């Protein structure tokens, strides 16, 4: 058998992996990453592991960890060359997920996977992550950028992250205080956030037959990309004033699965009656549902339909909690109540 090698010598770049480009992407991102550091961060960018001082995190602190991605929203970002917004989406989504258990963010870890390394694009992704981390007082402690030709198609990428937050045990929101008679208070979303994009993309491309630069129906001239790449809202600043209020019993972040898929997760085994008519309508959902002929119940499973966060509050606490929310710039709306003898969510309309 002839085992002699043939042809020219191969390099890693010949196999599709450009180490120099990866180092360039990191170099472009270092300033943005370091800008998220506070006195608790003990290691510089490039360490094998991030170091974070854990002393003085409050009385009986509980760490809350969550991991998520941006889903197929990244396909629109890749198609339009707009990369920084999905980095913000990722952080905001994870902050909200920790927030529902009462936690404020401590640090974040990101993962960027690409088919071919483009330092400018990767730096924009990381820059968006860093900008959102800085905004929320969260250190971008570490991460990984992986170039994997053959796994990710040319021009495509994936973006995922892990967040760790902290909450004093006395203020942990775990559903144990929820009971029948508690009121449901909704906070508005600003669009799809990071869920329902596989369906939304198909409606835009196949039913509406629009390009991403075309005006989106009912959007006052905003393009399809503008509307569908709106950054996932973060509710940290709005909810911070009420997180330790004893009248707040639970929070639900409305993501994949909609209200029916997420609200029961925080009700401690109880059910809820919910009014869909109480949610202020958003034109983006009206356009998508109409163009896709999406059945009513299916739309409320695939999309958030205009509600991004739900508070479960003691009935007597609802007026002053809503007042605090209004002071924070929100327009809370009454959605329904927690009830006994109902499994999951029962729609009132």
Calpha distance 141→60 (Å, rounded) = 23
**Residue 12 forms part of a structural domain:** no
Calpha distance 195→68 (Å, rounded) = 11
pLDDT of amino acid 195 = 93
**Residue 9 forms part of a structural domain:** no
Q: Are both 24 and 50 inside the same structural domain? A: yes
Render pLDDT for 63-85 as a digit per residue (tens, 0 to 9).
999 999 999 999 999 999 999 89
Q: Are both 215 and 342 inside the same structural domain? A: yes
Q: Are both 128 and 253 inside the same structural domain? A: no
Which residue stretches of the chain have pLDDT < 50?
none
**Residue 327 forms part of a structural domain:** yes
Q: For 142, list phi and psi in degrees, rounded to 5.
A: 180, -175
Render pLDDT for 171-181 as a digit per residue (tens, 0 to 9).
999 999 999 99
**Residue 332 forms part of a structural domain:** yes
Q: Are both 136 and 191 inside the same structural domain? A: no
Domain coverage including residue 36: 19-171
Q: 3-state class of 234 per DSSP?
A: coil
Q: Are both 325 and 194 inside the same structural domain? A: yes
pLDDT of amino acid 343 = 83
pLDDT of amino acid 113 = 94
Q: Are both 151 and 257 inside the same structural domain? A: no
pTM score of the predicted model: 0.92
Calpha distance 8→57 (Å, rounded) = 58
Question: Which of 121, 146, 171 is at the close of a domain?
Answer: 171
Domain of residue 315, CATH code: 3.90.650.10
């Amino acid at each position: 058998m002839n085992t002699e090698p043939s042809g020219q010598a191969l390099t890693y770049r010949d196999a599709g992996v450009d180490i120099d480009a990866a180092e360039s992407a990191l170099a472009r991102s270092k300033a943005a990453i370091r800008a998220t550091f506070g006195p608790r961060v003990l290691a510089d960018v490039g360490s094998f592991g991030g170091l974070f001082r854990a002393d003085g995190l409050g009385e009986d602190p509980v760490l809350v960890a969550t991991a998520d991605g941006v889903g197929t929203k990244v396909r629109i970002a890749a198609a339009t060359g707009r990369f920084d917004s999905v980095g913000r989406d990722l952080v905001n989504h994870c902050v909200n997920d920790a927030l529902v258990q009462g936690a404020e963010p401590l640090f974040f870890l990101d993962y960027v996977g690409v088919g071919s390394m483009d330092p400018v694009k990767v730096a924009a992704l990381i820059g968006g992550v860093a900008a959102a981390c800085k905004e929320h007082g969260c250190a971008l402690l570490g991460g990984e950028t992986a170039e994997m030709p053959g796994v990710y198609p040319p021009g495509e990428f994936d973006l995922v992250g892990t967040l760790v937050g902290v909450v004093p045990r006395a203020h942990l929101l775990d559903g144990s205080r929820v009971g029948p008679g508690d009121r449901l208070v909704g906070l508005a979303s600003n669009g799809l956030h990071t869920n329902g994009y596989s369906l939304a993309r198909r409606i835009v491309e196949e039913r509406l037959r629009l390009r991403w630069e075309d005006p989106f129906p009912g959007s006052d001239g905003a393009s399809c990309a503008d509307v569908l790449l709106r950054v996932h809202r973060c509710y940290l600043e709005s909810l911070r004033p009420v997180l330790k209020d004893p009248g707040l019993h639970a929070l639900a972040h409305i993501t994949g699965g909609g209200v029916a898929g997420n609200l029961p997760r925080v009700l401690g085994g109880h059910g809820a009656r919910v009014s869909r008519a109480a949610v202020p309508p958003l034109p983006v959902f009206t356009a998508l549902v109409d163009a896709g002929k999406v059945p009513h119940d299916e739309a409320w499973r695939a999309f958030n339909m205009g509600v991004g966060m739900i508070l479960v509050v003691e009935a007597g606490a609802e007026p002053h909690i809503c007042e605090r929310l209004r002071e924070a710039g929100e327009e809370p709306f009454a959605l329904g109540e927690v009830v006994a003898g109902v499994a999951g969510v029962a729609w009132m309309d």
